[in-house]
C-alpha cells in the first residue's frame, strides 16, 4: 500500500454485479465497527481485497453452476429425444409383431380344400404331359431334318 492509500478515509464501497448476482458492501461501516480493534488503515485495504476476492469467487461459482445446468439441460433434451425415438421404434416393432400374429392366425384359419388341390394337380399334370409331348415332337423334327 502506498502512503496516500493508507490515509484515505474509510468510506469505500464495493459493488460487484454480474449475471443477476450483486454484492454491495459498505466497507466504511464494516471498518468503523472494527476500528477499535485495529488502528491501521491497511486493514481496510485487506478487507476490501478479501471481499472483492470473495465476490469474484462467488461469481465464478455461479457462472460454473449456470454452465453445468445448461449442460444438464442439453443432456436432458438429448435423452428426451432418444426416448421419443425409442418409443417410436417400440411402437413400430409392436405393430409388426401384431401383423405377424394376425398373419399366423389367418394361416391357421385356412382349411385345406382337397378338391381344389386335386384340380391343381390334374392341371399341372396335363400341362406337363403337353410340354413333354411338344418336346418329343420337336426332338423328332430336329432328328428328321438332321443329316447323320
75-106 residue pLDDT tens: 888 888 888 888 888 888 889 889 888 888 88
**Distance from C-alpha of 49 to C-alpha of 138, rounded to nearest angstrom:** 113
Q: Is the pLDDT of residue 108 over 70?
A: yes
Hey, what's the cell of 12?
Answer: 469505500
Measuring CA to CA, which residue among 91, 18, 104, 88 is closest to residue 55?
A: 18
Query: Can you tell me the mean pLDDT for 121-131?
Result: 90
pLDDT value, residue 122: 92
| Least confident stretch, 18-22, 108-112, 138-142 | 18-22
pLDDT value, residue 147: 63
Angle at 109 between CA 107 and CA 114, to 5 degrees: 90
Q: Is the pLDDT of residue 2 over 70?
A: no
Measuring CA to CA, which residue among 84, 14, 91, 26 is closest to residue 54?
A: 14
Q: Is the pLDDT of residue 129 over 70?
A: yes
| Least confident stretch, 20-24, 109-113, 123-127, 137-141 | 20-24
Amino acid at each position: 500500500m502506498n502512503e496516500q492509500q493508507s490515509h484515505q478515509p474509510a468510506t469505500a464501497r464495493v459493488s460487484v454485479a454480474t449475471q443477476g448476482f450483486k454484492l454491495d458492501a459498505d466497507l466504511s461501516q464494516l471498518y468503523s465497527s472494527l476500528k477499535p480493534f485495529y488502528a491501521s488503515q491497511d486493514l481496510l485495504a485487506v478487507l476490501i481485497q478479501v471481499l472483492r476476492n470473495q465476490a469474484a469467487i462467488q461469481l465464478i461459482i455461479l457462472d460454473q453452476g449456470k454452465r453445468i445446468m445448461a449442460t444438464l439441460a442439453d443432456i436432458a433434451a438429448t435423452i428426451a429425444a432418444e426416448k421419443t425415438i425409442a418409443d417410436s421404434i417400440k411402437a413400430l416393432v409392436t405393430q409388426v409383431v401384431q401383423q405377424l400374429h394376425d398373419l399366423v392366425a389367418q394361416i391357421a384359419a385356412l382349411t385345406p380344400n382337397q378338391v381344389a388341390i386335386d384340380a391343381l394337380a390334374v392341371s399341372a399334370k396335363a400341362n406337363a404331359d403337353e410340354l413333354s409331348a411338344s418336346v418329343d415332337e420337336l426332338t423328332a423334327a430336329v432328328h428328321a431334318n438332321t443329316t447323320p
